[in-house]
Structure 1
Amino acid sequence: MNPFLIVSMAVGLGILLVGGFYFLVYYQHPDDRNEAYIPKFVVLFGFVLAGATVLMFPLDVANNEGYAGCQGYDTEFCGGLDMELLWSIVFILIPLWVFCLIPFMTFYYEADDGMLMAGTVYSPNPVKRSRLGEALCYQIFVLMIVGAFFVGLYFTLSDAEIPVQDYTASQGIGLITADNAFTFPSLGGGNSSSFKVNMLVPMRPSDEAWLNNMEETGEETIVLQVDIPTFFANLMAWLGWFLFALFGGIGLAALPIDLILAYTNRPRVLDPVEYAEIQLNLRERVNELVEVGEMLKIERDERAQIGLKGTLFSFDAERRKAARDERQALIGFKQAVFLLEKDTEDFKAATVSRDSYNPLIPYASLLLGLCSIGISLLWFAHVILYVFPSPPLMTFLNEYFVWFDQWFPLFGVLSVALFTLYLLLCAVKGCFKFGIRFFLFHIHPMIPGKTYMSSFMFNTALVLLCALPVVQFSQLAFADYGAYSEIRQLFGVQIQNLKFFSWFWESHIFIYVFMGLSVVTTLYLFCKPKDQAASGKELKKRIGSRRS
């Protein structure tokens, strides 16, 4: 077993644990400081699991980088790590966190906050239960839906059709070397002049050289039922791609642009006229949002007390419409409050808190923004040059990583880790950016010292759902660099050839959406770079029209 890989795993997990703990302490709200210990445990190890998932790809590559030099195929994993087992553990832990621990902790935490037991438009006269009982009821319902969905799909769509090529030697060419080691991952053997080559085992350079002397005589298919962890990984990746294609594509453009804007909009000295105008604007926005908050509270209390009247059909339709309107108003209110707090902090940094403000922060944002622009452009160019064309126009980043490994192996691994982790950051940024511009779901920003556990758990679930799409995208984008990795065989062969799902993977439909949204977002943010708060007057008018 390679001691370097063991040390790398230990150091990586240690960094993730320390970083996750610091991240949790730095961002948590003071109200949660001495409470919600179990949700904090779920969040901490959820972030560690997401980070470990994307970092396992470069570890997998490092573990199998000597595959081409292994003597024979009796060595299952040349670096000494059973990556197939490690990937199976990850494939099980991610759905456990996403569908079991995070939902249960969310229900329990919200019940503790009084949200599930209060009367709402959905349930005007609720039956109060204990927090644990309330959370268990919701969790059992989630598990029933997820379990039925998974079991049904596994027994109908778990067969992978693996292509097998038939080859025939024009002259008798022995397939055994002097040390009796097979030179082909073939189904034939000995000195036979015909044999089969499948995609389940990667070929070494010597094998590919042999193929130049062979004639392909046909193709057939092996039907293989994938195991439960691998199929669940496929299903989680497929579901996660809907989120990652949307949020990751937006974040690939929004992350560098917002970092640059943080520098260009840095606090500066205000003259008396600017000071008075900004102060007056903030005061007016505060007063408007206080009124909106009071109106929302009164409306919710009234609906909880009297419910909605009418026939069964009209009652359902009216209740759904009222719930939708109430939800949209609440989302707009939260978005306006968040932007008001942000503008207030910027105003304080330029006035009363000017002496304590760190002037290096904008320049750090500028540096990170320039680095982000470079990484986003490299990802965009790599997809255009390597992923979309068949065959690729050039290996691009693959060649750079291989060159780095030859010079100093650690740099190549760290480079792959940087590019994969960057995609996760883009997904989180894209989710927040989309939520703050379009009022379709509640925003969950990560604000230092002001983040509640509900926002932590939402972002943890989002990161975990996007982790496997990031791994799948990375193994496809860096196929030459990770040709001998175990995840390449799982995602690039078994999952790639699963019934129904193969169309999504082979046509690159998700990647096209990902890249298209990145371009559209770039153009959109150049036209409208500043986040605009929902109008307090419009919110009051909307709420007032519903109550009249």
Structure 2
Amino acid sequence: MADWFLILATSITFLLLLVAAVYFLVYYQHPDDRNDAYFPKLTVILGLVLAGATVLLLPLDVANNEGYAGCDGYDTRLCGGLNMQLFWDIFYYAIPAFVFLFIPFMTFFYEADDGMLMAGTSIGAKPNNRFLEAIKYEFFVILIFGSLFVAGYLILGESEIPVTTFEQTVAAYKDVETTGSNGTFDLTMLPNMTDFSHQVNFHIEETISVAVSLPTFLSAFMAFIGWFIFAIFGGIGLAALPLDMILAFVRRPRRLDPSEFADAQVNIRNRTNELVNIGELLKVERDQRLNDMGGSRKMFSRFSGAGREERSAFLEFKKAVFLLETDVEEFLDSSANYENYNPLKPFFSLLGGIVAFVLSAVWIVQVAIYIAPPEPLHPLLNDYFQIFEGFFPLLGILSVALFSMYLLLCAVKGCFKFGFRFMLFEIHPMKPGKTYMSSFMFNVALVLLCSLPVVQFTVTAFPEYARYTNVVNIMGTQVQYIKFFSWFWVNKVFIYAILGVTGLTTLWLAFAPSDKPVKKKGLFARLKKNKT
């Protein structure tokens, strides 16, 4: 019989995640999407709920198995009544479905309407045309990643689990006193006999090959892909998130005097005019390139040399626009909107920065002294979580949820910070009231890709807390030793990568904490030269 408290807690948590996802969407969405893009919005809401539920599934697994040392996660009669194996399998199928099916298709469908993604698609394209364009691009996504998964499962679908067997054989005793007139041994004394003439110990090491199920391999496949993203972006975010929140307090708006107001106004006007000219040149260059291509070649035009150069220029242009919008907001907060500006906002940012700094520092210490060394130096957070097991387990569950959710926020922050500094891919900032659905779906896909690595990372960091959970059997044993993937996880490649990226990011931000504006004159000159 299922534990009604767990069922009630799970239902309430799901509803809270749903409400939070809807509020998040409404709060950040751009006014242009307010009465449009309903299917992409539904995808974003469900994706956010799925990402949050994936991370919170670990605390639920702990609560379901709490206090049941003999509970293996399969016999629900011994546990809290929830079949956690089924729960995890559903999530292992749902995450790749969203990442490789729903989100890409909705992104293609949404962006086909403005002509930015689909080369040759005009603004205001008919729904049928948009649907066919989205299907065309989605086919290639499924073909590429579907082929990789099928080939990987056929070749690597086994887990080679190392097993160590200990055997002890006692050969003889010495100095054993006999009792009784017949000279026989007193059997009641045998448990206390420790003085052996010699004993033989057998230490046998072997490897057991176990065929993994389809959802288990799917979780390993998604976790492996996600680890490359999480190790880089999560490591950057651990250093960048606290710093940016604290800098938001340090650079809080203050009222401008007349001379500062005039200088800022002229600077913003000049930058706006330059960006308008650059935008027009970008549009002319793009139209000219597409006109030089015909038919099916338009679909692959972005991968040509000219297409890549145009994309690089567009990324620089988008960065410059973002910086200009940020400066305009700060200018208005320091002038026209100064009286209406909430003075508590910077202090909330400072408080959030302090909390983020503590969480980042604790995570780094946990990795450095517990996960990275060959043998853990100190349990640290494991001891902290176990404090609450006896009298207030809910606080331990909430603590694990906080630490896990924070890692997802760091991944999003790190992605934006990396893209903004190096311009290797399009940036997708989340700004209240100014976020388009394409940015929503990009960030939701990023969070979903990082959700399974976060779960695996949390299980590795808190094995004593999660010792009775079902996910330990999956992530800690079967997934850990799957062919090819096991080399990265057993040798802690991604763990060292997180530490290294966090350290390098900290040094980088120590010397360059601010994002520099784009050199618009150089970009303008290049575009103008291409036009002529």
TM-score normalised to the size of structure 1? 0.86
Q: How does 1:127-146 map to 2 (within 5 A)?
A: 130-146=129-145
- Cα 1:338–1:84, aligned 2, differ >3 Å: closer, same or farther? same
2:485 aligned partner: 501
Partners in 1 of 2:78 and 2:268 — Cα distance? 62
> 1:455-500: per-residue Cα shift (whole Å, max 9, x none)?
1111111110010010110000011111111111101100111111
Quote the residue 1:147 is aligned against: 146
Q: Secondary structure at the match of 1:163?
A: strand
1:68 to partner: Cα distance? 1.6
Distance 1:367 1:50 in 2: 26
> Aligned residue for 2:328?
344
Aligned to 2:385, which of 401, 412, 434?
401
Q: Which runs of 5+ in 1 are unaligned?
A: 173-212
Cα pair distance change 1:523/1:70, threshold 3 Å: closer
Query: Separation in 2 of the partners of 1:404 and 1:117?
Result: 54
Which segment drifts farther, 75-84 or 491-500? Answer: 75-84
Q: Which residue of 2 aligns with 1:279?
A: 265
74 and 495 in structure 1: CA distance in 2 versus 1, 3 angstrom threshold: closer
Q: Counterparts of 1:372-451 in structure 2 under 5 Å?
A: 372-451=356-435
Q: Is contact 1:266-1:362 (8 Å) kept?
A: yes
Equivalent of 1:238 in 212, 221, 224: 224
CA distance in 2, matches of 1:248, 1:348: 33
**For residues 71 and 104 of structure 1, what CA distance do their matches in structure 2 show?**
39
In the alignment, is the contact (CA less than 8 A) between 1:167 and 1:214 conserved in 2? no
* Counterpart Cα distance in 1 of 2:72 and 2:345: 54
Distance in 2 (CA, whole Å) between partners of 1:324 and 1:273 is: 43
Q: Deviations over 1:354-385 (max 9, x none)?
A: 11111110000000000000000000000111
2:196 maps to none
Once residues 244 and 327 of structure 1 are traced to their aligned partners in structure 2, the CA distance between those partners, rounded to angstroms, is: 25
**Residues 183-262 of structure 1: matches in 2 within 5 Å?**
217-262=203-248
SS of match in other structure, 1:326: helix
The worse-fitting range, judged by mean Cα deviation, of 322-331 and 87-96 is 322-331
In structure 2, distance between residues paired with 1:518 and 1:246 = 8
Change (3 A) 1:299 1:11: same
- Map 1:25-424 to 2 at 5 A: 25-68=26-69, 77-115=78-116, 118-119=119-120, 130-170=129-169, 217-307=203-293, 320-424=304-408
1:166 Cα shift? Answer: 2.3
Question: What are the Cα deviations for residues 49-106 of structure 1, in whole angstroms up to 9, with x where unaligned?
Answer: 0000011111111211222266999666512111111000000000000111111111
Give the deviation of 1:391 after TM superposition.
1.7
Aligned positions of 1:469-508 closer than 5 A: 469-508=453-492
TM (norm. structure 2) is 0.89
Residue 178 of structure 2 corresponds to none
Partner SS state of residue 249, structure 1? helix
Structure 1 CA distance for aligned equivalents of residues 259 and 111 of structure 2: 45
The 3 A distance-change label for structure 1 pair 116 and 275 is: closer
Give the Cα–Cα distance (whole angstroms) in 2 for the partners of residues 45 and 303 of structure 1: 38
**1:9 aligned residue:** 10
1:541 correspondence with 2:525: yes
> How far off is 1:111 after superposition?
1.5
User: Structure 1: how far apart are the matches of 2:301 and 2:103?
Assistant: 32
Give 1:202's aligned residue.
none
Instruction: Quote the offset at 1:163 in angstroms.
Output: 2.3
- Does the C-alpha gap of structure 1 residues 79 and 171 become closer, same or farther in structure 2, counting only changes over 3 Å? farther
Q: Distance in 1 between matches of 2:503 and 2:388?
A: 30
Structure-2 change in CA distance of 1:251 and 1:77 (3 Å): farther
1:214-261 residue CA offsets vs partner (Å, 9 max, x unmatched): 955312222111001110100100001111111111001110000000
**Distance verdict in 2 for CA 1:214–1:547, change over 3 Å:** farther
Give the structure 1 partner of residue 174 of structure 2.
Answer: none
Measure the CA separation in 2 of the matches of 1:461 and 1:328: 22
Residue 495 of structure 2: aligned partner: 511
Distance in 2 of aligned mates of 1:49 and 1:343: 35
AA paired with 2:217? F
Whole-Å Cα distance in 2 between the matches of residues 440 and 73 of structure 1? Answer: 45
Equivalent residue for 1:467? 451
Structure 1 residue 152 displacement after superposition: 0.6
Measure how far apart 1:16 and its partner are.
0.6
Structure 2 letter corresponding to 1:163: P
- Write out per-residue CA displacement over residues 399-442 of structure 1, whole angstroms, 9 at most, x where no aligned residue: 00000222311000000000000000000000111111111111
1:63, 1:77 within 8 Å by CA — same for their partners in 2?
Answer: no
Distance 2:303 2:137 in 1: 21
Q: CA deviation at 1:9?
A: 0.8
Q: Secondary structure at the match of 2:433?
A: coil
Given the superposition, is the C-alpha separation of residues 361 and 319 from structure 1 closer, same or farther in structure 2, using an over 3 Å criterion? closer
Query: Partner of 1:504: helix, strand, or coil?
Result: helix
Greater shift in the superposed pair: 353-362 or 272-281: 272-281
Structure 1 residues 333 and 115 mapped into 2: Cα distance closer, same or farther (>3 Å)?
closer
Kept in 1, the 8 Å contact 2:381–2:462? The answer is yes
Residue 8 of structure 2 aligns to a residue whose secondary structure is helix
CA contact (8 A) 1:165 1:216 kept: no
Post-superposition offset of 1:545:
3.0
SS at structure 2 position matched to 1:167: strand
- CA apart distance, 1:532: 1.3
Q: Is the 8 A contact 2:108 2:118 kept in 1?
A: no
Match of 1:185 in 2: none
Partner of 2:236, secondary structure, is helix
Partner of 2:189: none
Contact kept? 2:212, 2:478, Cα under 8 Å: yes
Aligned partner of residue 208 in structure 2, secondary structure: strand
How many Å apart are 1:117 and its aligned residue?
A: 5.4
Distance verdict in 2 for CA 1:32–1:7, change over 3 Å: same
The DSSP-based 3-state class of the residue aligned with 1:54 is: helix
After superposition, the Cα gap between the structure-2 partners of 1:458 and 1:481, relative to the gap in structure 1 and judged at 3 Å, is same
Cα 1:456–1:65 shift into 2, 3 Å: same
Q: Relative to 1, partners in 2 of residues 1:471 and 1:317: Cα closer, same or farther, differing over 3 Å?
A: closer
Distance 1:416 1:216, change over 3 A: farther
Q: Following the alignment from structure 2 to structure 1, what is the Cα–Cα distance between the partners of residues 230 and 370?
A: 20
Q: Which residue of 2 aligns with 1:208?
A: none
Residues 216 and 479 of structure 2 are in contact (CA less than 8 Å); yes or no, is this contact kept in structure 1? yes
SS at match of 1:217: strand
- Residues 71 and 468 in structure 2, CA contact (< 8 A), matched pair in contact too: no
Letter in 2 for 1:144: L
Residue identity opposite 1:38 in structure 2: F
Structure 2 Cα separation of the partners of residues 477 and 302 of structure 1: 54
Secondary structure of 1:267's aligned partner: coil
Distance 1:385 1:295, change over 3 A: same
Contact map agreement 2:73 2:83 (CA 8 A) in 1: no
Q: Aligned in 2, Cα 1:75/1:95: closer, same or farther, shift over 3 Å? A: closer
Q: CA separation in 2, counterparts of 1:218 and 1:299?
A: 69
